[in-house]
Amino acid sequence: MSNSSSQSFVVIGAGHAGGRAVEAMRANGFEGAIHLIGTEQMVPYERPPLSKEMLVDSGVDCPPMHPAEFYTDKDITLHLGVTATDIDGDIRVVKNSDGTQLSYDQLLLCGGGQVRHLAVPGAELANIHTLRTIGDSNAIETLLVPGNSIVIIGGGFIGLEVASAAKSRGCTVTVIEAADRLMGRALPLEIGETFAALHRHHNVDIRLNTGVERFTGDTAVREVITTSGDSVPADGVIVGIGVDPGVTLAQTGNLEVNNGVVVDEFCRTSDPYIYAAGDVTFHFNPLLGRHVRLESWQNAQNQAIAAAANMCGANTVFAEIPWFWSDQFGVNLQMSGAPDVWDDIAIRGNLSGRDGILFQLNEGKLVGAISLNRPRDMRFIKRLMTAGKSPSRDALIDEAITFRELLK
């Protein structure tokens, strides 16, 4: 980038995407000013342990992506505990909650998402938590005391990971899910049923087709009253009913918004001087041929790296097969692809034995895969899907045929 030393980049959001972005800007040779704005009072840190290791073991902390000295050494200015409140795209200025204003030559939005809250009576009681930050995880961890009754609202990935952690700590656990199966927004029925059986095997009380009427208690929650009229004792409640993209700031800058901040395959928004990456984006994926919004560690990291490179003058297309993982009761689940339609499934191995792979097919083409305890196989399956290869149904289910062979 010519004359980069006189330019200024501003990155809003000091989560995983923002942290990787500023690192990548320096790695790409940008010599100008870099400002990183984050609402938390912490340098960017690794997010996956929040719902996993940190809750299972009270001695585990969430590691920073880099020590504070890294940002000093790289001449990256941190604005922590600060919220960006307004974007003036006409003069390229960001206004912040502390009264400061930052001019930018290019701006990167990495604000992530906002957890959904339950709007029911009693929702303001103490010991009702969502999970998005270290502070949230620490607050939940204090409730995971042997014998405590923990109620989890929402049977998605976060809720079920917390359920697994809570049981490992000796708690009584109830999961309340409004839909007719677990993880139904993201995964096929067969996987939801497998994980319902797994959780019930570990004595988690799974209540499907059930909602929350209200929370009761004096100052802290003591009971959850369900839409079925049941009363469930609760020493703590974790609400995991999804995340909405944080688009309010983008709207102040008159950016195109539709299920997130709309970006193209180069991570560019509708404003040529503003890019976006991570959970906040609704991005075009050339491999899928459509726009998608993803909430995953891989997407946040790699899209941010691509956006940073393009801000530095590259012309990098961000095109990856989506990938996600979850650990529950010692079972490693991985999913590759983000199919919106499939008309057939094929299964290799034994899902009920938690050692197998479910393939999603549409008109004979491989569009998605979910594995249980087969991480090595998933590495090859991701490569198959990225290359656009679609083995026959018989080959996919045949244990005698390795995925390495199918790549040839």
Residue 318 belongs to some domain of the structure: no
| Predicted confidence (pLDDT) per residue in 343-396, tens digit | 999 999 999 999 999 999 999 999 999 999 999 999 999 999 999 999 999 999
Residue 289 belongs to some domain of the structure: yes
The neighbouring-strand residues paired with 84 are 96
**With 60 as the cut, is the pLDDT of residue 3 above it?**
no
- Going from the C-alpha of 323 to that of each of 9, 191, 206, 320, 386, the distances in angstroms are 29, 16, 27, 9, 11
Which residues make Cβ contacts (< 8 Å) with residue 21, sequence separation at least 6? 11, 108, 110, 277, 304, 305, 307, 308
CATH number of the domain residue 374 falls in: 3.30.390.30
Which amino acid type is present at position 298? Q
Considering the domain architecture, whether residues 67 and 153 belong to the same structural domain is answered as: no
Helices (H), 230-353: 248-252, 297-311
Residue 324 belongs to some domain of the structure: no
Given a contact cutoff of 8 angstroms between Cβ atoms, the answer to whether 308 and 29 are in contact is no
**With 90 as the cut, is the pLDDT of residue 194 above it?**
yes
| Predicted confidence (pLDDT) per residue in 232-245, tens digit | 999 999 999 999 99
pLDDT-based confidence at residue 408 (cuts at 50, 70, 90): confident
Q: What is the pLDDT of residue 182?
A: 97
Residue 320 belongs to some domain of the structure: no
Considering the domain architecture, whether residues 348 and 396 belong to the same structural domain is answered as: yes
Residue 316 belongs to some domain of the structure: no
Rounded CA-CA distance 203/244 in Å is 31
Rounded CA-CA distance 145/67 in Å is 32
Considering the domain architecture, whether residues 272 and 344 belong to the same structural domain is answered as: no
pLDDT-based confidence at residue 2 (cuts at 50, 70, 90): very low
Whole-model pTM? 0.95
Residue 160 belongs to some domain of the structure: yes
Last residue of a domain, one of 212, 239, 266: 239
Considering the domain architecture, whether residues 234 and 248 belong to the same structural domain is answered as: no
The enclosing H or E element of 189 equals helix 189-201
Domain span at 31: 4-53+62-113+243-311
Last residue of a domain, one of 311, 339, 355: 311
CA dihedral (39, 43, 44, 46) in degrees, to 10, reads -120
Considering the domain architecture, whether residues 106 and 250 belong to the same structural domain is answered as: yes
Average pLDDT over residues 305-311: 98
Please count the structural domains in the chain: 3
